[in-house]
Amino acid sequence: FVSVETDAHGRPFGRFEKQPEVGQSLVLTIDEQIQFRTEKALREAVANVGAKGGTAIIMKPKTGEILAMSNLPGFNPNLPITKGEELKNRRNRAVEDAYEPGSVFKVITYSAAIEAGVLKPTDQIDCQGGAITIAGHTIKDGGRYGSLSVSEAVEVSSNVAAIKTGRRLGKDLLLKSIKDFGFGKIINAGLPGESPGFIGGTKNWSEASFGALPIGYQIGVTPLQILAAVSVIANDGEWIQPHILKQIVSTTGDVVLQKDPERRRVISKSTSETMKAILEGVVVKGTAKKARLDGYSAAGKTGTAHKYDPAIGRYAPSRYYASFCGFAPVTNPEIAVVVVIDEPRLGLHHGGQAAAPAFKQIAEMALRTLNIAPDEVNSEYPESDKPSVIDDSLPLEDNFELEELNSPEIQEILAKYQSNDNLPETDNLEQTTVDKTNATNNLPPKNTANKNVVITNETNSKETNSKTPSNMMTGNIKEPQLAILTFSEGEGSLIMPDLRGQGMRSALQRCKDLGLKIVFQGSGEVVEQFPAPGTAVSSGIECKAVLRKIQ
């Protein structure tokens, strides 16, 4: 560097120059090829399901070495912040963004219960027809399940079974196990800006906590935290600190620092072996069949979690995190992978649909790049014998109000962590007559001769309010006027089209072609719809669409 001395008037009178010294070298754990291909696979996964973004991390579960870490949207830290760019968008989402993981978290619930001896792998759990009431609210499964074994309950991702398991553990054991698996504190992986996440119920435990924590709500985790936790199963019950720095090497080639990651036992080797077999069943015949690898055995768990929206003070009914976290090969795990997809398109928003295929692509690539020999193909469940299971059930049904299980404390924390993903404010629908609405959208007038169209006007009466769906976004929305249009054409089973991004006129025409009724709320473009795109529907059912003006 050069140092120039100046007088009081700024005139230079002295100059000192020092030649740079050769510094020490940092050796990272990142594998260049795996990093490049992981970024490519994540881009494809996000594009395939029309998602907002995503995160993928690969780690060696036995050593904690991070082989790849990719985020979308990304940024180039070498470039200065451009005009209009917000600093909050320049973050490493893999370690900074805390989210509610949903069903992936059931791995911790079941591991803790088996370790504590309150649940045996051979136990049967009564799923009560797929519904359980907690604190006055009903939580449902994706199917009407009766008595299931522990393995079957995990394979179909039963909420009822997980909640009952959490009850068996009790508050103290459940919270202790969550902390033992590394949640609620910083990992210290060597990356700036790490978030500790949060654990609900530690201060204000309530009966509702038993309905939330065991299935991955009321807890905020980072993708790296959940990867480290699932790696406990892969690493014979030991938690090992994920890290990105391997060595520091001097100019003479001497190793100045060799990373010695923290290790601690969380569960016994026996419990980890039991969980390996259970999680392999999830991939072989459960919600994660799309994560099955060619030539390698794999194990893991899917997750589909509603996103909390601080703009409306509740969970958004059509915005999700879809995730999968797993490891391979099962007999001798060499890699662990987590994939989190942010807001995949409705209809493809389950973990088994959006994240599991990305795990398959990334894991197969990494294993071959590392020259890991394929293990023996599991023939216990031949393709023809596998039961038909949906990709992943919704963690909670739409008629269950998620936010009602959350205390003000939890809602405040959720708002903090989700503040980067606020939705724009909802526009109110002007109080107009249905004829004016029709004219704006080139629809037939009320006395139309088209007998296939029946238009009715719903005013802001108590009757109208009762017809407004409970899972529509509320916030500070005034009671809107709803135009319900019924089309008599079309019979039989249909596939619900994707209306998002379309105006009222275009969405109306799509529904008309299929013989569907539709209720509009707001104005502008469709941002949310019910049923979800790709859902099987019948002619004549009532659909809902929320519209907003896109700035």
For 216-273, the DSSP string reads: T-SEEB-HHHHHHHHHHHHTTTEEE--BSEEEEE-TTS-EEEE----EEE-S-HHHHH
Neighbours of 104 (CB within 10 A): 29
Give the count of alpha carbons within 13 A of 285, CB side only.
17
DSSP letter, residue 420: G
The tokens of 258 are what? 């060799």
Kindly state the helix (H) or strand (E) to which residue 79 belongs, with its residue range: none
Neighbours of 23 (CB within 10 A): 8
Q: One-letter amino acid identity for 251?
A: T
- Report yes or no: 389 and 285 within 8 Å, Cβ to Cβ: yes
CA torsion through residues 437, 439, 444, 446, sign: positive
User: Rounded to an integer, what distance in angstroms lies between the CA atom of residue 71 and that of residue 499?
Assistant: 28
Which of 103, 151, 177, 297 is flagged as catalytic? 103
User: Rounded to an integer, what distance in angstroms lies between the CA atom of residue 225 and that of residue 506?
Assistant: 44
Question: Is 3 assigned a catalytic role?
Answer: no
Helix (H, G, I), strand (E, B) or coil at 295: coil
User: Rounded to an integer, what distance in angstroms lies between the CA atom of residue 429 and that of residue 547?
Assistant: 9
> Which sequence positions are flagged as catalytic?
103
